[in-house]
Structure formats: C-alpha cells, structure tokens
Structure 1
Amino acid sequence: MIVATTLVAMMLATAPQGTKKPTQAKPATKSAAAASLPANVVARYNGIDITVDDIRQQVNATLARKVVPDLIQRAVIEKQAKLAGVTVTAAELATKVSEEQGKVISQMAQSTGVMMKFDQITREYGLTEAEIKESVRLNLLARKAFEKSIAKELPSLDGQLHLAHILIATVPLAPGPETQTPLTKEQQDKKDADQKVRLEQIITDIKGGKLKFEDAAKQFSDDKGSGAQGGDLPWAGKGTFVPEFEKAAFALQKPGDMSVPVKSQFGWHVIKLIAKGSDASAAEKEKYRKEQLAQRTSQPQAVQQWLAGLSRGAKITFNTNAKVYK
C-alpha cells in the first residue's frame, strides 16, 4: 500500500522476497556498480537481470492489478485531504522525513548488526529520495485528513463528570475459591449488610476528618485499579457506568460532594464528584480534546482502517483489453 506506517515498513514491502538483509556494509563501489548497469536493466540479482521489458510484460500480464489499488488509495487520500482542507507544508515534510530516516537507520542497525548510512539503505532496497518523500507526504496527508474527520466525533467535556469512588465488594471480582462455593441467599444478604456498614464507617471517618478520601480508596477500595489512584476515574458521560452508579453520580451537585452508599452488582460504592465538564475552562476542554484525539489515532493501523472503510463496498472493474505498454 502507498501509506506505510514507517519507512522501514515501506522498505520491507519493496524488498525482493527471499532475499537476506545485509549483514555488512556495502562496499564504496556500490553506486559505481549501479551506474554501470545497462540503461534497460532495472535491477540485477545474483547475475540475473530484470529489464524494462520484463516489467512492461509483467504489468500488462497482471493488468496493473498491483498498481491500481495504490493509485486508488492515493486518489482517496488526496480527495479526503481536500474535503478536510488540510495540506502538508514543506517544513512538515522535511521534519518528518528526517525523523523517519533516523528510525530507519536505528532499526536497520538493530536487525543487521551494522550501522549504515541512509543512502546505503535506500540503494539496498532500490528506493529513490522522491519515492520516500512522496510516501511520507501521503502518510502525513492521510493522518491529517483522518484526524480532521474524527474530530467531530470526539466527545466534549460538556455533560461529563470527573469522579472518584470507593468500592466495598459484595461479590468476588476475580475467579478464586469464593466463586467455587456460591453463598446461600441468607449468607449473601448478611454479607451485603456487613459491607454496607463497613462503607458507612469509612464515609463517617472521611466526613469527620479522620481519613482523606484518596487515602481511604487506596487502603480499602476493592477496585484496585482506581483505588491505587485514590479512587480517581477518567472523565465519563452518561452510558458509561451501571445504572445505579450513574444515577447517583449525576445527582451530585458540586465538586467535593459525596454520595450515600450506592449498591450495584459489584457491591457498595461511595462516589465523590471532583469536577463537572460543563464547568471546565476552555484550556481544559481543549486539552481533553487533544487527549481524546491522540487516543483515537494511537493505533498504528488506525489510518489504514479508516481508508479501508472509505472504499469498502466499492467495485473495481478491470479492462482486460487495456495495455499500459504497447
């Protein structure tokens, strides 16, 4: 595909199948040897010449099926970028190319055990500077268009809450001996009542100043993930939590307010309101938007999946009589 995640991926995609990566630096005569090849020889592999005519015949024989999808993807990227109103500046391109070159040199050194200059690596894989720049440009353009397209789908802080909670569980939260022998209804009812009393005492100690909410969460919460963070939960809107928890959380009015004990399928919770998204500053809302965008675009294949979705269902009709070369 045109849009390779990295230049390394691009190079590996263009490497001859079955060839072994170099284990030592190429001799200084490499460029001279390449220049000495006849004009009609595109590549020479162990004395075997791949000529311009060979390529022409192969392109015609395959009806350019290997090239057409890439050209279609290129067209899709350019179209989406135009619709999104995004471009790649010369400065952005130069910076990204330099960054990718550094990654290529480092990763190739790790895989071959030999430190090679970038121009040595590109010659090894038969790539030109123009190809590399175009691949990086399309990659940047696709990412920019992708980010612009999903920006409108990102949740805003308005309508969201920043909460903390303490959970005193009434059921096993992970497989263990307790799950092998289920409690009777009477035993479960007693456990529910005992755990509620325990949580009520924790709440009394917090309100009385004997305990800080954060310390109580670290010490007592059975939700070990949030407990280790003082009970802190990420920003969330309606539809994120179980109904009982959500109802109690959205009933809280101002930062610092705590709920009464709330029963859910997991046990008893006390919920603390840290902040309301509607009260956040413009800077806080923008920071959240950027974090959400970074999270959505962090997956290496996110852009490719987006591009694939744009062309899903599209039909390509090949003209079997078409000849690229006559």
Structure 2
Amino acid sequence: MTVYPIIMTQTKFTHQDDLKYPYEERALQFGDGVYEVIRIYNGTYYLLDEHVDRLFRSTEAIKINLSLTKGEMKNLLLELLERNNMETDGKVYLQISRGSAPRDHVFPIDVPANIYAYVQDLPRNLVNLENGVGTITQRDIRWENCYIKSLNLLPNVLAKQEAKENGCYEAILHKDGLVTECSSSNVYMVREGKIYTHPATNNILHGCVRMRVEKFSHDLNLPFIEEGFFVEDISMADELFLSSSTSEIMPIIKVDNIQIGDGKPGKITRLLQETYEKDIKNYNKILTK
C-alpha cells in the first residue's frame, strides 16, 4: 500500500522525505509503546534497576522484542548522563515503541523498536513536600492492564487536567468507589497506624517508589496492608499520601472539600519522607562506589 509523497503537516505541505519526524510511527498512530520516568538526584539515578526491570516487563507484556539486554540498557542510560554532564536533580524520559512501519493494526514484521531517552532538570518540590497538596476524586475509566506503563495515557491526562482546573495537584481515581491510584502516582491511606493501599494487581501501576514505600514500612514495623479503601473512607483517614518518582512521598491534606486529619502532613508520612531522604543518600553511595 503506497503512501503518496506529499504530506500535510500543520497547515503546510511537504515531501515525506523532508519531514523531521517519522509520521508512520506506531507510538504516534497507536500509542503502541511503553515508557519510564527515572529520577536523578545529584547527577545519579535513583532506583535504576527497578525502572529497567519494569520497562522490560512492559515490553514483554505488549510483545515488543528488544535487541538490548537489561545490562546494555542500563549502560546506555548511564552514558546518557555522562554525555550530558548531568550533575543536578532531574529525570530521564525513556520511550520504546514498536517502530516505524506502514499503518496497520497488525504488528509489522522485522521492524526494529524505536528507542529514545532525554534528560531534563527537575528540582525537588520542597514546598509541596513540606506543606502537602490538595486532590480531587475522579472515576477511573482506564483499561484493565494499568500495570503496563504504556503510552495510552489520555484518561490520565484528562484526570490530571481536571485536578489542575480545580486548583489541585492530583486526581485520585476510583472504580465504583474503590480507590485504585492517582492519575500519575500511587495513593495510600493511614488509619490507626496502618498504611492501606490498593494491591499490586493489573488495575494499578506497580510504582517503583511504591515498592520502596512497602520496604520502608516493613523496616519501620508499620503495617503495610494491600487492601483497597473506598472514597467514603477518606473522610475517616488520619493521613493520606501519594508516591511517584517525580512526586516522591507527597502528603495529601485535602480531597475534594474534605480536610485530611488536622490539615497538615501526618507523622507517619513524615517518617516515610525522612526514610526516603536517607535512602536517596544510601542509594547514591552504592552507585558511586
């Protein structure tokens, strides 16, 4: 099936050979790919192994065959920081698509995956980490394989935008009242000294920081209960917080019009934040040896 040579881009027309991007790219046309966002502190990756492991789980889940091993991927990502002389706090966005091929729902044959990654500065959001943030609740309308970190993020984008338009940081998603996670983070409720969060099923992304929160909880002898809670339970929460690579461990002080606790970050959230800070330093020491 031949594509005619003149392509419309924006309001102009150009020859397909002169385009600066592959217009027949499966990430663009189908969202056929996966991604990772990896945190950097002082020029060093945090949880690099965990992110690369999840990347490979995602590519395997959608049947993208990579020519790279995990070790080769990690070496490339480390070289990316070196070539950019990265020495501050930031993040890497890494994306893999099934490749560039004539548009067809069926997988192309013998087409290499497209891989790219870039580095951005990302200072820590110390004000929000100290004071906490507000959130809204939204119905979870995503697909049933949220454990795959895929490029199909339109429901997440719409929920996040709704939160912003309501002057909030995040949107807490729920299925028939059962809280799953947020638009771009995992969420937790603290009640009577116990931490509750949705179990790591297909309905949520298995966050790398979420795994760390679980470890911290066990190390601190805090009950970590993988049991979903309901929107109606939020009003009875002692504390609420969310986690992600870019948000770290973020206190939630308001949901919709409901104040959480006394409206200030709680003691367990603070303890987890302190443990996270220590973990960053320890992790960096291990990587820089």
TM-score (norm 2): 0.22
TM-score (norm 1): 0.20
Higher share in strand: 2
Higher share in helix: 1
Select the structure of larger CA radius of gyration: 1
